[in-house]
Amino acid sequence: MRPAGAGRPPRRSRELNGSKLSVQAKRYPLPLAPSAVAALVPCSHGAGCPLGVDAPAIANAARLGDHPRAYLIARGPNPFASSCGHGCHAPCESACRRRYFGAPVAIGALEAFASGFSVPALLAAPEPCTSAHDARSVAGLTGRDPVEALHAPRSGKRIAIVGAGAAGLACAHDLMLLGHSCTVFDDAPEPGGVLTRAIPAFRFPVAAARGECAAILEMGVEYHAGYRIQGTSDLRTLLAGEFDAVFLALGASAPRDPMFPDQPEHVDVIDAMRVLAEDVPIDAHTVVAGDGALAIDAARVALRRAARDGVAGATVQLVLDAPIERSAIPTELLGATLAEGVQLHSGWIATRYLTDERSALTGVEIARPAERASKILPCDRLIMAGARAPRATAFAPELALDERGRIVADPETLETSMLRVWAGGACAFGHRSIAHAVADGKRAAWHIHATLMRQSVRIAVTSAWVEVDDWDDTRAARALEAQRADLTHAPPPADPFSSVSARAGDDMVREATRCFDCTVAPVVDESCTACGKCVSACPEGAFTIIPGPPKQLRLDQDVCTRCGLCVQKCPEGAIAMLRAVWEERLTTQPALSPLDVGLELHDATPAGGTPAIS
């Protein structure tokens, strides 16, 4: 065995699309099937971003000050990049491996920063197309680039989209790239759904959503305001007329259950959505009961509205159904709410309201049934933020609904029980995140296209390991030392598409530095002798040896900081820091029968050989 670092065999390499491909990479390619992409970069795939936004690439571009590149990476797969950056609940951050070392990278803030250097535009990034949602991937189904696809002759197929929120407009965005014509119907005078009507302006720049909605309408999408669909007869009318398919993106803004089923409605017991959508006056003592971001937003709006109206001694108490340790509310959002003076009661349920002899509201009883505990909170205004459901009962039974009142849609194809009708977003899957709604709309567009054109749509992935040219041994230490930017009290920008309004550049560069870049990983080749030097050298205990025979070396990706010490300590030169490079694109083939129409996942990496990037 050679001494550490002595006589290490040189690595031969060859070029692959401008990147060096090492002998290790040639022998040990990474077959990046979609599931493998999710395992490698969880923030951008799998449990992370449903749009496959390349968060490590955005962080790298921001860290290097390459704003145009960061903008193109953020915009490519997401026509609502700015809205997501400012308002999404960031499933990407919940999946970020940096959370094991203090706190996740503020990926949402980085996306808002990246998308804030210009108005929304349909431009192609020079990067590999790492998401099937990228405009290059979608337009590629027609054999064109995004700009060519948008200006190409229309297919003659027309699609009606009911609902102008993120899901509906994202569907229209991709259908326009695919060569079809779209008409969006909504009962509101302006598009955007909850993005323009319900998210409070003190935490979300409505101008971002309005700008992104306008950019989609400028693609040639028709918008009909003041339209409310009444039931399946309206669906049949649309399909019998000029439309070949319908996508339902109705949202879910109505209360799923009566506020207090055993009590009559009361004038001072109101729904939270009404508080957000209308200028409802707030009295001195308000209680908000429910859960999720709706309850948080209603409480913060109530506190501000009382201060605006000069209500003396105003108090707002927030009753959350879930205990705080099990709440899905982002920590920073909850922290900001408490810092503003909202009083919290977590793990309690509102059971009944109380009135005096004149029927005036005096309080609400809250309880913890499992503990047989209850208490009274005095109030003169009660705001209920319970579970939401779409206004969809009029569609049953032709359009199947589940037990929660949502439209039943296939989770992959988004098809409903009614022929030529698709559904997505909150009306089918409940409230999740802005990114999930956008992803639903885009996937629905692919399946509508596949059905109308009698094609089968698949996601093809090609991949390779390549040498890392820009890595240094101090990067992991800098990532661990950098403190997460304090974004709790940062007000939304007045103009989200101006670099002048972008978050402080220094803060964002520091935040980008915190990213480990999980596309890079230590890769072990066949010359490994399982000597254990890397195991003892790793400061995080990421390497372990699995007893044999033969003994095997295993890497825990979740705790690896990509520091490279294992590379330095390996006496055989069997470990190299390599970067996974891949492309993920939509492809089509003719459907053999109506049953073949759909979407499947396909790994285009050749088995047993070196994968290539197309």
pLDDT tens by residue, 232-289: 999 999 999 999 999 999 999 899 988 899 999 999 999 999 999 999 989 899 999 9
pLDDT at 11 over 50: no
Q: Show the tokens assigned to 183.
A: 């008409």
CB count within 10 Å of CB 103 equals: 15
Return the minimum-mean-pLDDT range out of 261-270, 376-385, 500-509: 500-509
State how far the Cα of 209 lies from the Cα of 214, in Å rounded to an integer: 8
Phi, psi of 73 (to 5 degrees): -65, -40
Question: Is the domain of 58 the same as that of 114?
Answer: yes
What interhelical angle do 331-339 and 292-308 show, nearest 10?
Answer: 20
Question: Is the domain of 74 the same as that of 177?
Answer: no
More confident residue, 545 or 181: 181
What is the mean predicted confidence (pLDDT) over 386-404?
Answer: 92
DSSP bridge partners of 181 = 158
Give the CATH number for residue 421. Answer: 3.50.50.60
Give the closest residue to 456 by CA, choosing from 603, 587, 591. Answer: 591
Summarize pLDDT for 122-170 with one digit per residue, the tens: 877 778 899 999 999 999 999 999 999 999 999 999 999 999 999 999 9
Question: Is the domain of 288 the same as that of 377?
Answer: yes
- Whether 585 is in a domain gets the answer no
Phi-psi region at 425: left, alpha or beta (left = phi > 0; alpha = psi -120 to 50): left
Model pLDDT, residue 403: 93
pLDDT band at 174 (very low <50, low <70, confident <90, very high): very high
- Whether 463 is in a domain gets the answer no
CA 209 to chain centre: 15
Question: Is the domain of 246 the same as that of 347?
Answer: no
Model pLDDT, residue 336: 87
State how far the Cα of 178 lies from the Cα of 455, in Å rounded to an integer: 13
Q: Which residues, 6 or more positions from 209, have their beta carbon under 8 angstroms from its beta carbon?
A: 80, 82, 83, 87, 192, 195, 196
Residue pair 179/446 in contact by the 8 Å Cβ criterion: no
Question: Is the domain of 246 the same as that of 395?
Answer: yes
Phi-psi region at 272: left, alpha or beta (left = phi > 0; alpha = psi -120 to 50): alpha
- Whether 296 is in a domain gets the answer yes
Model pLDDT, residue 29: 43
Residue pair 89/433 in contact by the 8 Å Cβ criterion: yes
Question: Is the domain of 263 the same as that of 379?
Answer: yes
- Whether 509 is in a domain gets the answer yes
Residue pair 467/578 in contact by the 8 Å Cβ criterion: yes
Phi, psi of 419 (to 5 degrees): -60, 135
Residue pair 43/92 in contact by the 8 Å Cβ criterion: yes
pLDDT at 74 over 70: yes
Summarize pLDDT for 320-337 with one digit per residue, the tens: 998 888 887 877 788 889
Domain ends where: 386, 420, 442?
386
Parent domain of 332? 257-386
Domain ends where: 364, 386, 408?
386
* Own/partner long-range contacts of 67-73 (Cβ < 8 Å, ≥24 apart): 67/114, 67/117, 67/499, 68/117, 69/125, 69/126, 69/127, 70/110, 70/113, 70/114, 70/117, 71/114, 71/115, 71/117, 71/118, 72/123, 72/124, 72/125, 72/126, 72/127, 73/114, 73/125, 73/127
Model pLDDT, residue 610: 29
Task: Specify the residue for token string 């989770």.
Answer: 411
Mean pLDDT, all residues of the chain: 86
State how far the Cα of 48 lies from the Cα of 203, in Å rounded to an integer: 23
Domain ends where: 366, 386, 406?
386
> Residue 374 has what DSSP assignment?
E
Q: Show the tokens assigned to 534.
A: 């890397």
Question: Is the domain of 394 the same as that of 325?
Answer: no
> CA dist 418 to 161, 369, 395, 410, 411, Å?
15, 41, 10, 12, 15
Question: Domain total for the chain?
Answer: 3
Question: Is the domain of 272 the same as that of 358?
Answer: yes
Summarize pLDDT for 407-437 with one digit per residue, the tens: 999 999 999 999 999 999 999 999 999 999 9
Q: Report angle CA 303, 348, 294 to the nearest 5 degrees.
A: 45
Give the closest residue to 502 by CA, choosing from 56, 32, 6, 74. Answer: 74
Q: What residue ranges in 397-542 does DSSP mark as E strands? A: 421-423, 455-467, 520-524
pLDDT at 295 over 70: yes
- Whether 160 is in a domain gets the answer yes
- Whether 539 is in a domain gets the answer no
Residue pair 206/196 in contact by the 8 Å Cβ criterion: yes
Model pLDDT, residue 614: 26
Q: Which residues, 6 or more positions from 37, have their beta carbon under 8 angstroms from its beta carbon?
A: 44, 45, 46, 461, 582, 584
pTM: 0.88
Summarize pLDDT for 89-117 with one digit per residue, the tens: 889 999 999 999 989 999 999 999 998 87
- Whether 528 is in a domain gets the answer no
Question: Is the domain of 353 the same as that of 421?
Answer: no
Residue pair 368/274 in contact by the 8 Å Cβ criterion: no
- Whether 66 is in a domain gets the answer yes
What interhelical angle do 166-177 and 434-452 show, nearest 10?
Answer: 40
* Own/partner long-range contacts of 400-406 (Cβ < 8 Å, ≥24 apart): 404/256, 404/430, 405/256, 406/252, 406/430
More confident residue, 463 or 28: 463
Model pLDDT, residue 195: 95
pLDDT at 517 over 70: yes
The letter for the amino acid at 365 is E
State how far the Cα of 302 lies from the Cα of 577, in Å rounded to an integer: 53
* Own/partner long-range contacts of 147-152 (Cβ < 8 Å, ≥24 apart): 147/122, 149/177, 149/178, 149/179, 150/122, 150/176, 150/177, 150/219, 150/220, 152/179
pLDDT band at 491 (very low <50, low <70, confident <90, very high): low
What counts of helices (H) and strands (E) characterise the chain? 22, 23
Burial of 28 (0-12, 13-18, 19+ CB in 10 A): middle
Question: Is the domain of 506 the same as that of 439?
Answer: no
Task: Specify the residue for token string 């957000």.
Answer: 276
State how far the Cα of 268 lies from the Cα of 270, in Å rounded to an integer: 6
> Residue 469 has what DSSP assignment?
S
Question: Is the domain of 196 the same as that of 83?
Answer: no
Model pLDDT, residue 496: 67
Q: Show the tokens assigned to 496.
A: 């989200």
Question: Is the domain of 68 the same as that of 186?
Answer: no
